[in-house]
């Protein structure tokens, strides 16, 4: 046994110093972590040769474990639903006074998704070695984004990790609801349009050619609509045309993905999306709602304004609005208020600018942004319901018109043939 002195930080953010006996520094780190302390420094005070050797061996073991801990582990993506549950359970246990290491151990046992279980195990190993939770999470940016890491850092520094994890779980739930609403609104039109295209393709490819052979055998002169339908059928039945069409679609998808991979290209595409008819307004409202929700959550968790703006810009999926937020960050750093540069960008509605101004004047910017987020999320929901209600009859009219044209084009020669046979 050897005696070590240590410097650690508790869950309230207070620094604690003391001495303790342990076989080596690795064992002491584990003991302190189980007590809910974040180890900052450990040094040996006294101990025999055996203890020194043990300490040396422990140090070597620590280095080996640390090296192993820093090894890049291949971990797949984690669903947002699983992350939300992880945050909610984490907040509950931290609030109940459970140590961080114990929390991670329990969460690892409860996790059902393999990727989440693996990443929690890696986080637990890193924390047991004395690392902060923030630093451990930064190794997995595809799971824990800038927003996630920023909130956890604020919680660790302020000693309110339970509150920030609770806010984070609420944010993830609201964001997931918004995405699910959008997907639900688009499910029906997508299914109907896919079914319509499949039906039309089947009619034109398999049914129309049979009638065309019949008309050809009778040597009939075909009317204009029937000739037009015949040309479409021939084009869709030609393997060369099918190959060209598939190649064109694949090429367009590849080109769009390549353009989106560059910052300037994605900015151009995002600008086009914002100006798109019907959907542009909806996309704009979704981006504003996410901006307000993210910004409000960060500020409520104690994240500084400049860091919050930078994190929000990274969390938004629209380069145009992200650029406006980064410009606002630069202006705030130079002494301006948040609302003024956002107003100059012409991307934020007057209502949100006024709410931000009131929030800055009264010191309640976080709660004002939460209200803005609630308002715009309700606006998005209403807009999606209206869009779905408008699309449904349009799709039915489109499908009826296409099928009706095919039927009329096929029956016109048949009527002419029947008239000729009856004479």
pTM, to two decimals = 0.63
Q: Distances from the Cα of 97 to the Cαs of 43, 94, 100, 161, 255, in angstroms?
A: 28, 5, 9, 11, 53
pLDDT value of residue 9: 67
Nearest to 353 by CA among 369, 335, 374, 367: 369
One domain, residues 89 and 179:
no
Tally of domains within the chain: 3
Range of the domain at 58: 2-69
N residues, the chain:
423
* Judgement on whether residues 35 and 154 belong to the same structural domain of the protein: no
Q: How confident is the model over 227-274, as pLDDT tens digits? A: 888 888 877 777 887 788 889 989 998 988 888 888 788 888 888 888
Residues 230, 135, single domain; the answer is no
97 & 239 share domain: no
Name the pLDDT band for 63 (thresholds 50, 70, 90). very low
Residues 44 and 31 occupy one common structural domain = yes
Q: Per mean pLDDT, which range of 20-34, 36-50, 360-374 is the poorest?
A: 36-50
CATH label of the domain that carries residue 44: 3.10.20
Tokens of 166: 């609770």
pLDDT tens string 336-366: 888 889 999 899 989 889 999 998 888 888 8
Are 136 and 177 part of one and the same domain?
no
Q: 175, 154, 80: which is closest to 373 by C-alpha? A: 175
CATH number, domain containing residue 230: 1.20.81.30
Residues 339 and 271 in one domain: yes
**Is residue 59 located within the same domain as residue 155?**
no
Residue that is last in its domain, among 69, 101, 127 = 69
Question: Are residues 59 and 157 both part of a single domain?
Answer: no
């Amino acid at each position: 046994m050897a005696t070590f002195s240590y410097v650690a930080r508790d869950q309230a953010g207070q620094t604690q110093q003391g001495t303790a006996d342990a076989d080596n520094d690795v064992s002491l780190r584990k003991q302190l972590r189980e007590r809910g302390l974040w180890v900052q420094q450990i040094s040996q005070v006294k101990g025999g040769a055996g203890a020194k050797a043990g300490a040396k061996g422990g140090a070597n073991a620590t280095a080996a474990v640390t090296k192993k801990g820093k090894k890049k582990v291949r971990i797949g993506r984690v669903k947002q639903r699983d992350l939300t549950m992880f945050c909610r359970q984490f907040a509950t246990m931290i609030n109940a006074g459970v140590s961080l290491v114990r929390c991670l151990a329990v969460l690892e046992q409860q996790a059902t998704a393999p990727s989440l279980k693996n990443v929690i195990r890696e986080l637990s190993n890193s924390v047991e070695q004395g690392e902060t939770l923030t630093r451990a999470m930064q190794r997995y940016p595809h799971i824990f984004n800038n927003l996630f890491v920023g909130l956890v850092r604020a919680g660790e520094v302020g000693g309110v990790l339970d509150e920030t994890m609770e806010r984070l779980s609420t944010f993830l739930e609201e964001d997931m609801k918004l995405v699910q609403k959008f997907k639900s609104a688009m499910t029906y039109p997508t299914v109907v349009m896919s079914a319509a295209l499949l039906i039309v393709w089947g009619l034109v490819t398999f049914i129309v050619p049979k009638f065309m052979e019949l008309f050809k055998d009778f040597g009939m002169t075909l009317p204009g609509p029937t000739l037009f339908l015949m040309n479409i059928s021939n084009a869709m039945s030609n393997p060369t045309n099918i190959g060209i069409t598939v190649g064109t679609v694949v090429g367009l998808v590849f080109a769009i993905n390549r353009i989106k991979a560059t910052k300037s290209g994605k900015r151009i595409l995002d600008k086009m999306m914002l100006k798109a008819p019907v959907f542009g307004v909806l996309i704009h409202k979704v981006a504003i709602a996410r901006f307000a929700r993210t910004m409000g959550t960060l500020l409520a968790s104690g994240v500084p304004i400049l860091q919050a703006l930078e994190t929000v810009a990274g969390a938004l999926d629209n380069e145009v609005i992200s650029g406006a937020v980064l410009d606002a960050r630069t202006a705030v750093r130079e002494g301006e208020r948040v609302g003024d540069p956002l107003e100059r960008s012409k991307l934020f509605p007057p209502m949100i600018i006024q709410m931000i101004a009131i929030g800055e004047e009264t010191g309640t910017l976080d709660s004002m942004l939460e209200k803005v987020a609630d308002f715009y999320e309700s606006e998005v929901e209403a807009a999606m319901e209206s869009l779905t209600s408008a699309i449904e009859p349009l799709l039915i009219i489109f499908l009826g018109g296409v099928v009706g044209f095919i039927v009329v084009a096929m029956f016109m020669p048949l009527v002419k043939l029947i008239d000729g046979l009856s004479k």
